[in-house]
Amino acid sequence: MTLTEINALEALAFETHFAGVLEHSPRYAAQVAAGRPYRSVEALAAAFAAAFTSDTPDAQLALIRAHPDLAGKAALAGDLTRESASEQASAGLDRLSPEEYAEFHRLNAAYHDRFGLPYVVCVREHSKESIFEGARRRLSNTPEQERRAALHEIGRIARLRVLDLVQEEGHD
């Protein structure tokens, strides 16, 4: 759908179309729908980021915790959202060696122990090597720094997901 078509959608259709932009958090799509019309796809994407960054700290933590561990149990069981499965595959996280799976398991456990959160990164902007490096580096963050880093990454993920869902005007 083009931006013109999206701006004209009924609220429920808009919410359905954009329900997967923020992981397991379709309620934000209703908030973004209420802000239409959007003048650009980037403005639409920014509205999703504004929706969660203006939310309560508890809601932000819930959004971060809604993200799956990278190459974790949900991925191995095939229980990821369609968006997360595609994104993890784009970085090769569905084709790891046993040693790499073990390293992700160790990093995921360290993240949960230190922050009570999954390690969230926009995997589409990284290679598996840079994902590993980023996780190791971010383990030295304070809890507040890590919360901000995770929210920043969620904004990047949401932007790319919005771009995937909106077709350029004049293109079929």
Among residues 17, 24, 67, 171, the one annotated as catalytic is: 67
Distance between CA atoms of 144 and 155, rounded to whole angstroms?
Answer: 17
Instruction: Answer yes or no: 126 catalytic.
Output: no
Instruction: Report, in angstroms and rounded to the nearest whole number, the Rg of the chain calculated over CA atoms.
Output: 17
Distance between CA atoms of 55 and 57, rounded to whole angstroms?
Answer: 7
Give residues with Cβ within 8 angstroms of 49, minimum separation 6: 154, 155, 158, 159
Which residue type sits at 78? G
Render 12-57 in DSSP notation, one character per residue: HHHHHHTTTSSTT-THHHHHHHTTPPPSSHHHHHHHHHHHHHTS-H
Q: Which residues are catalytic?
A: 67
